[in-house]
Chains A and B, each alone.
Chain A
Amino acid sequence: MTAAALTGDNLEAPPAAPPRKAAARIAALPAAEAPPARPRMPLGRRLEPFFKATIPPLLGVALLLGIWYVATLKSVSLPGPDKVWTEAVKLFSDPFYRNGPNDQGIGWNVLSSLKRVGIGFGFAALVGIPLGFLIGRFAFLARMVEPIISLLRPVSPLAWLPIGLLAFQKADPAATWTIFICSIWPMIINTAVGVQRVPQDYMNVARVLALSEWKIVTRILFPAVLPYMLTGIRLSISTAWLVIVAAEMLTGGVGIGFWVWDEWNNLKVESIVIAIFVIGIVGLTLEQALLLLAKRFDYQ
């Protein structure tokens, strides 16, 4: 998903400008002088960058739909694109209904998953970022915590779910807890690496000016580390969004993961395919929003 999003971004962004410029030039022409003798770029040439940007992704999507269509043509259990589309239109015509706790619109399900991700991620940021700063600043602390992080980081966050259930006695905070666990590692590690990589030049400026520790943190460390921190946040959110679906399948309640499982029990495979697309689109949106934010704070 990441790679596709990135290349899509690269393809779309730069060529978008030229056709607009070309259009402006042509619009300005007739007023200035008589156009007939003017050598104009052929239309195809002018639209080339636009096509280069849009055709390959559209082709890719078309190919996917084509393969999907052909593959499901003879299948009874797997729905084709047409069936899913009809179902999706029905589903999205009323995304926010409530018929009791186990039957709610897809909008509510997505929102409650996002809420869990938000809370779990928020706590992880609250703990992970300051911890990352401390680890980055003090080598002793880094050496102390390193084995613990190395040991716990590769563990699937779902393995922590029973601990959460035991500790909180409720499904909902347990799911949030798994999000906390999976979000915290990238945040700690990226923040710490960012602090360790603050250029010595900047620290020399701080030393020559004999800045107070507060000024060093607010004026030098924090801005220097921010890009690393945002990378950590982006990785955390992506992982969190991966994990929440699995966690909700296990805990139940309201949420996109639970919804997938519920629809599977109802044998409504169309809904599961729709859910896959919804999860993908929400994940892509989160990632792109954070990339935009990161660009804002890139000073180089």
Chain B
Amino acid sequence: MARMVQIENVGVSFDTRNGAFVALRDINLTVEEGEVVSLIGHSGCGKSTLLNLIAGLNLPTDGVLLCNGREIAGPGPERAVVFQNHSLLPWLTCFDNVYLAVERVFGRKEGQAKLKARTKAALAMVHMDHAEHKYPSEISGGMKQRVGIARAFAMEPKILLMDEPFGALDALTRASLQDELMNVMEETGATVVMVTHDVDEAVLLSDRIVMMTNGPAATIGEILKVDLPWPRERLKLAHDPKFVDYRAALLEFLYQKQLRKAA
């Protein structure tokens, strides 16, 4: 399989009044095409910073990041981002929010009819086609995040980056969105890097889980390979001994090895 993302000796530090603050150091990671990788760790461990580096929203102070063999120098539509707080534009309808992205990516090559069809297909994929003419303020939090996911998938990105996509949702909504996301990932064979702090979510959705040590100067602690066959089913997996082991391994890392003092 081709290497989609290569992260080589990457570090991030900020200049503060008290000298340089090292947020991330010595990050080395390769994401293969079609792979789903989760970043997990306590809050403040720099997992979102790492995701923003891949997105190109932040740039590293050390090392280099490559996407498809080319250096990541800034954000771009081939690396779509699903933001934690959905980030839909409130003055555009769900349709127009997705269309804005579709038009940007495919507008030069395709006619309006084709662009509209793409937008509708993306919304249908997350079962939001019924609300395409609604504004974000008129739909629930879960629905907004669905539209956010549709917007990202509609761009047909090389890699999809998700920053705690379901963090702001209640447990039931989160579960149904995870199931939907799994379906979409199956359909599209997408390469995904996802930040999460939910152990179950990480095991359920990932091929590999990158566990990060606590900051400052956070880095990759362990990498867990999740060897569960796709498609995965939440209910069956709950009693699968492998699933239980993976879960235990994560918990052990998070709450024994990386227990936060006075967190």
| Also in contact, A204 and B101, with CB within 8 A (given A209-B77, A210-B75) | no
In the complex, are the beta carbons of A219 and B100 less than 8 A apart? yes
Is A71 on the interface with B (CB-CB < 8 A)?
no
B104 neighbours in A (Cβ, 8 Å): 209-211, 215
Q: Which of under 10, 10 to 19, 20 to 34, or 35 or more describes the interface residues of B?
A: 20 to 34
Is A33 on the interface with B (CB-CB < 8 A)?
no
- Which B residues, 73 to 93, have Cβ-Cβ distances below 8 Å to chain A? 74-77, 79-81, 83, 85, 87, 89-92
Per-residue CB contact flags for chain B residues 12-27 toward chain A (1 = under 8 Å, else 0) read 0000000000000000
CA distance A223 to B101 in the complex (A): 17
Nearest neighbor of B85 in chain A, beta-carbon distance: A201
Partner of B91, one of A209, A210, A299: A299
- Which B residues, 209 to 246, have Cβ-Cβ distances below 8 Å to chain A? none
Is B162 on the interface with A (CB-CB < 8 A)?
no
Is B168 on the interface with A (CB-CB < 8 A)?
no
B85 neighbours in A (Cβ, 8 Å): 201
B105 neighbours in A (Cβ, 8 Å): 209
B77 neighbours in A (Cβ, 8 Å): 208-210
Partner of A219, one of B56, B79, B81, B92: B92
Is A205 on the interface with B (CB-CB < 8 A)?
yes
- Which A residues, 208 to 248, have Cβ-Cβ distances below 8 Å to chain B? 208-211, 215, 219-220, 223-224
Main secondary structure of the interface of B (DSSP, over half): loop
In the complex, are the beta carbons of B80 and A208 less than 8 A apart? yes
| Also in contact, A204 and B137, with CB within 8 A (given A210-B75, A211-B104, A219-B89) | no
Partner of B57, one of A202, A204, A219, A224: A204
In the complex, are the beta carbons of B83 and A223 less than 8 A apart? no
CA distance A209 to B101 in the complex (A): 6
Is B55 on the interface with A (CB-CB < 8 A)?
yes
Is B253 on the interface with A (CB-CB < 8 A)?
no
Is A197 on the interface with B (CB-CB < 8 A)?
no
CA distance A219 to B88 in the complex (A): 12
CA distance A204 to B101 in the complex (A): 13
Nearest neighbor of B136 in chain A, beta-carbon distance: A299
In the complex, are the beta carbons of B89 and A202 less than 8 A apart? yes
Nearest neighbor of A199 in chain B, beta-carbon distance: B87
| Also in contact, A210 and B76, with CB within 8 A (given A299-B91, A299-B137, A300-B90) | yes
A-B contact count (CB 8 A): 53
In the complex, are the beta carbons of A201 and B91 less than 8 A apart? no
A215 neighbours in B (Cβ, 8 Å): 100, 104
Is A207 on the interface with B (CB-CB < 8 A)?
yes
In the complex, are the beta carbons of B89 and A205 less than 8 A apart? yes
Main secondary structure of the interface of A (DSSP, over half): helix
A19 to chain B, nearest CB (A): 28
A213 to chain B, nearest CB (A): 13
| Also in contact, A202 and B87, with CB within 8 A (given A208-B55, A208-B57, A208-B81) | yes
A209 neighbours in B (Cβ, 8 Å): 77, 100-101, 104-105, 155
Is B135 on the interface with A (CB-CB < 8 A)?
yes
B247 to chain A, nearest CB (A): 32
A219 neighbours in B (Cβ, 8 Å): 89, 92, 100
In the complex, are the beta carbons of A201 and B76 less than 8 A apart? no
CA distance A202 to B100 in the complex (A): 13
In the complex, are the beta carbons of B75 and A201 less than 8 A apart? no
CA distance A200 to B75 in the complex (A): 14
Partner of B83, one of A204, A224, A300: A204
In the complex, are the beta carbons of A204 and B135 less than 8 A apart? no
- Which B residues, 47 to 106, have Cβ-Cβ distances below 8 Å to chain A? 55-57, 74-77, 79-81, 83, 85, 87, 89-92, 100-101, 104-105
A229 to chain B, nearest CB (A): 14
CA distance A87 to B85 in the complex (A): 62
Nearest neighbor of B148 in chain A, beta-carbon distance: A205
Q: Could you pull out 28 A-B pairs where Cβ atoms are within 8 angstroms?
A: A201-B87, A204-B57, A204-B81, A204-B83, A204-B87, A208-B55, A208-B75, A208-B77, A208-B80, A209-B77, A209-B100, A209-B104, A209-B105, A209-B155, A210-B74, A210-B75, A210-B76, A211-B100, A211-B104, A215-B100, A219-B89, A219-B100, A223-B91, A224-B91, A299-B90, A299-B135, A299-B137, A300-B90
Q: Apart from A204-B57, A215-B104, A299-B137, what are 10 other A-B pairs with CB-CB below 8 Å? A: A201-B87, A204-B75, A204-B81, A208-B57, A208-B75, A211-B104, A219-B89, A219-B100, A224-B91, A300-B137
Query: B: which residues have CB within 8 A of A?
Result: 55-57, 74-77, 79-81, 83, 85, 87, 89-92, 100-101, 104-105, 135, 137, 155
- Which 7 pairs of residues, A with B, have the shortest CB-CB distance? A299-B90, A223-B91, A201-B87, A207-B75, A208-B75, A209-B104, A208-B81
